[in-house]
C-alpha cells in the first residue's frame, strides 16, 4: 500500500470539502443566520487547514493501483461525511454526533434517509448543506477532482472505477480527465435545466435549488414536512421527469450530443429501464385507482413514486405506505432494481439484472443442449468474463450484507417490514421505506448501533460494496 498517495488525496478531499462548506456559510449570510454562517465558515477553515497539512508532503510515487484507488474512495467518502456532520452538531440542530453522521452520510450517498422529525426547523444554511451533499455525492467528488485537477494521469481510472456505479466503467474519450470533465458538464447542464424549469413553474429559487439537487443527484432529502405534496401538480410532474432523466446512464446524453442516435436506440438497459417504469406505474395506477378523486391525480402520484423509487431519489407526494399491498410490493421490488449504470442512482442497477437474467437463460439452455457454445451479449457486444464474474460476486455479496444487516437491525425489536425496508432503503440509497420508516416517518426510532449498521449500508451501497470491504481486509494495508 502506498500510504503517501492515499494521505495526499485525502488532503485534497478535505480542501474540496472546505470549498463546498463555503456555500452554506454564504447561504447563512444571505438569510441572516449569522451563527450558522460562522459555524459553517469555521468548519471550512478547519477542513482546509487539515487538508493543507496532509498534502504538504508530495508522494514520491503518484501511480494508483486498484487497491489504492478503492482505499482512497472508501476513506475519502467516510472522512468527508465525518467532517460534514460537524456543523449540524455545533448549530445544535442535530445534537448527537451519530445522528449527525447518519444525516450527512445519507446526504453524500444520495440516500435521503433522515433522523429529523421536523425538518422545517432547520436554518436555511443547514437545509442547503443537506441537499447540496446530494449534488456532490451524485456524480462523485473524486470525478469532480479529476475534472479539475491533473492528479495521477491514466491511473486515476482506478478512482473512477471505485466511485462510479455499474458493473463496468468505460471512458467516454481516451483521457480520464476529459471523461470526468464531460460527465460534469452534462451534470451541470441537467442541473441548470432543472433549476430553470422549476423556476418557470413558479417554484421559489431556494426551493428550486434544493429540489434539483435532490432530483439530479437522486438523493431526495425533503425540506418540507409533507415532502413534495404541497407543490403544484405541474411542479410534481417536472420533478418526476427530472428524476427519471437523472436515472439514465450519462453515456446516453453524450451519445445524443454526438448525434449517435442509432447507438442510443440499441441500448438494452435504457429500453428496459423505461419499460420497467411504464409497467410499474401502469400496475400501480390500476391498483390505486379508487384512492384518489381523479385519474390525473392517480397517474401523477403513480409515476412520481415509481420514478422516485426506481431512481432511488426518495421524494414523495403522497403516503405510499397507505397504498394496497400490491403497489407497496412493486415499489419494494423497484428499490432493489434501481436505475441505469453510469447514472447518479443506487440499487443493483438494471444492467446487472439484465446480465443476470441472460446468464440464467444460458445455463438453462446448456442443460438442454450441453454442447452448445453461447456467448452472452449486451448491446450487440460480448460481455467479458470479468464483467460476468464481478456481477455474480456483486449479487452474492449484496445479499450477504443485506441479510447480515437485517439480523443486526432486528435487535431493536421492530416489525419485520420496517426492518426489511429500512435495510433495503439504505443499502439501495432510496431514503424512505415502509411502515415505521415510511414516507411520513423517519429513522430516529433506531438505536445508535442500528444507525451505525445503516450508515455502513448507505456507504457500501453508494460505493458498490467492494471499496468499503477492501479497506476492511488486513492484506489491503500491507506495504509493497
* Inter-residue contact 146 to 171 (CB < 8 Å): no
Tell me which DSSP letter residue 383 carries. P
* Gyration radius of the chain's alpha carbons: 22
Residue 133 labelled as part of a binding site: no
pLDDT greater than 60 at residue 95: yes
Residue found by looking up cell 498517495 in the block: 5
Compute the CA torsion angle 105, 455, 139, 249 (nearest 10 deg). Answer: -150
pLDDT greater than 60 at residue 10: yes
pLDDT in tens, 324-354: 999 999 999 999 999 998 888 889 999 999 9
pLDDT greater than 90 at residue 119: yes
pLDDT in tens, 359-385: 888 888 888 888 777 788 888 888 888
* Inter-residue contact 190 to 245 (CB < 8 Å): yes
Taking the C-alpha atoms of residue 386 and residue 163, their distance in angstroms, rounded to an integer, is 18
Residue 312 labelled as part of a binding site: yes
- pLDDT at residue 379 in the model: 81
DSSP-assigned letters across all residues of 139-159 = H-HHHHHHHH---SGGGGHHH
> What are the backbone dihedrals phi and psi of residue 345, each rounded to the nearest 5 degrees, phi first?
-85, 165
- pLDDT at residue 367 in the model: 86
- pLDDT at residue 191 in the model: 95
pLDDT in tens, 223-235: 998 889 999 999 9
pLDDT greater than 80 at residue 455: yes
Taking the C-alpha atoms of residue 67 and residue 3, their distance in angstroms, rounded to an integer, is 11
Residue 111 labelled as part of a binding site: yes
Rounded mean pLDDT of the chain? Answer: 90
- pLDDT at residue 241 in the model: 96
Residue 321 labelled as part of a binding site: no
pLDDT in tens, 208-220: 999 999 999 998 8
Q: Left (φ > 0), alpha (ψ -120 to 50) or beta: where does 82 sit?
A: alpha
Q: Left (φ > 0), alpha (ψ -120 to 50) or beta: where does 341 sit?
A: beta
Tally Cβ neighbours within 10 Å of residue 51: 21
pLDDT greater than 60 at residue 480: no
pLDDT in tens, 405-442: 999 999 999 999 999 999 999 999 998 999 999 998 99
pLDDT greater than 90 at residue 30: yes
pLDDT in tens, 173-205: 767 778 888 888 999 999 999 999 999 999 999
Helix (H) or strand (E) holding 381: strand 381-382
- pLDDT at residue 470 in the model: 87
Taking the C-alpha atoms of residue 31 and residue 119, their distance in angstroms, rounded to an integer, is 17
Taking the C-alpha atoms of residue 193 and residue 87, their distance in angstroms, rounded to an integer, is 30
- pLDDT at residue 184 in the model: 87
- pLDDT at residue 135 in the model: 93
Amino acid at each position: 500500500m502506498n500510504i503517501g498517495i492515499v494521505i495526499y488525496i485525502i488532503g485534497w478531499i478535505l480542501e474540496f470539502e472546505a470549498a463546498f462548506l463555503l456555500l452554506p456559510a454564504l447561504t447563512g449570510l444571505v438569510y441572516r443566520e449569522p451563527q450558522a454562517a460562522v459555524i459553517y465558515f469555521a468548519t471550512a477553515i478547519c477542513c482546509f487547514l487539515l487538508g493543507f497539512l496532509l498534502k504538504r508532503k508530495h508522494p514520491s510515487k503518484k501511480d494508483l493501483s486498484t487497491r489504492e484507488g478503492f482505499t482512497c474512495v472508501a476513506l475519502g467518502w467516510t472522512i468527508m461525511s465525518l467532517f460534514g456532520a460537524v456543523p449540524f452538531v455545533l448549530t445544535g440542530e442535530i445534537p448527537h454526533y451519530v445522528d449527525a453522521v447518519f444525516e450527512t452520510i445519507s446526504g453524500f450517498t444520495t440516500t435521503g434517509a433522515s433522523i429529523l422529525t421536523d425538518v422545517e426547523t432547520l436554518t436555511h444554511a443547514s437545509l442547503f448543506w443537506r441537499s447540496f451533499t446530494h449534488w456532490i455525492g451524485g456524480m462523485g467528488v473524486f470525478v469532480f477532482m479529476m475534472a479539475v485537477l491533473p492528479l495521477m494521469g491514466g491511473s486515476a481510472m482506478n478512482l473512477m472505477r471505485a466511485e462510479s456505479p455499474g458493473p463496468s466503467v468505460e471512458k467516454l474519450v481516451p483521457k480520464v480527465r476529459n471523461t470526468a470533465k464531460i460527465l460534469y458538464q452534462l451534470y451541470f447542464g441537467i442541473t441548470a435545466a432543472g433549476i430553470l424549469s422549476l423556476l418557470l413553474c413558479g417554484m421559489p429559487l431556494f426551493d428550486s435549488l434544493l429540489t434539483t439537487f435532490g432530483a439530479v443527484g437522486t438523493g431526495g432529502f425533503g425540506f418540507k414536512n409533507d415532502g413534495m405534496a404541497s407543490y403544484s401538480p405541474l411542479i410534481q410532474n417536472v420533478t418526476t421527469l427530472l428524476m427519471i432523466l437523472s436515472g439514465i446512464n450519462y453515456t446516453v446524453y453524450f451519445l445524443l450530443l454526438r448525434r449517435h442516435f442509432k447507438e442510443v436506440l440499441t441500448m438494452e438497459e435504457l429500453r428496459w429501464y423505461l419499460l420497467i417504469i411504464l409497467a410499474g406505474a401502469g400496475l400501480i395506477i390500476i391498483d390505486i385507482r379508487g384512492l384518489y378523486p381523479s385519474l390525473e391525480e392517480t397517474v401523477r402520484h403513480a409515476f412520481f413514486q415509481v420514478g422516485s423509487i426506481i431512481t432511488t431519489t426518495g421524494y414523495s407526494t403522497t403516503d405510499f405506505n397507505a397504498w394496497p399491498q400490491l403497489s407497496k410490493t412493486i415499489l419494494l421490488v423497484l428499490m432493489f432494481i434501481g436505475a441505469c449504470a453510469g447514472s447518479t442512482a443506487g440499487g443493483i442497477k438494471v444492467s446487472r439484472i439484465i446480465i443476470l437474467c441472460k446468464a440464467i437463460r444460458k445455463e438453462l439452455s446448456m442443460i438442454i443442449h450441453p454442447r452448445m457454445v453461447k456467448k452472452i451479449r449486451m448491446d450487440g457486444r460480448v460481455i467479458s468474463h470479468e464483467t460476468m464474474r464481478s456481477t455474480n460476486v456483486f449479487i452474492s455479496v449484496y445479499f450477504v450484507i443485506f441479510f447480515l444487516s437485517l439480523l443486526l437491525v432486528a435487535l431493536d425489536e421492530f416489525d419485520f417490514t420496517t426492518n426489511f425496508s429500512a435495510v433495503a432503503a439504505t443499502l439501495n440509497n432510496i431514503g424512505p421505506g415502509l411502515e415505521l420508516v415510511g414516507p411520513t416517518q423517519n429513522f430516529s426510532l433506531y438505536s445508535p448501533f442500528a444507525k451505525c449498521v445503516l450508515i455502513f449500508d448507505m456507504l457500501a451501497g453508494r460505493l458498490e460494496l467492494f471499496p468499503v470491504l477492501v479497506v476492511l481486509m488486513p492484506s489491503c494495508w500491507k506495504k509493497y
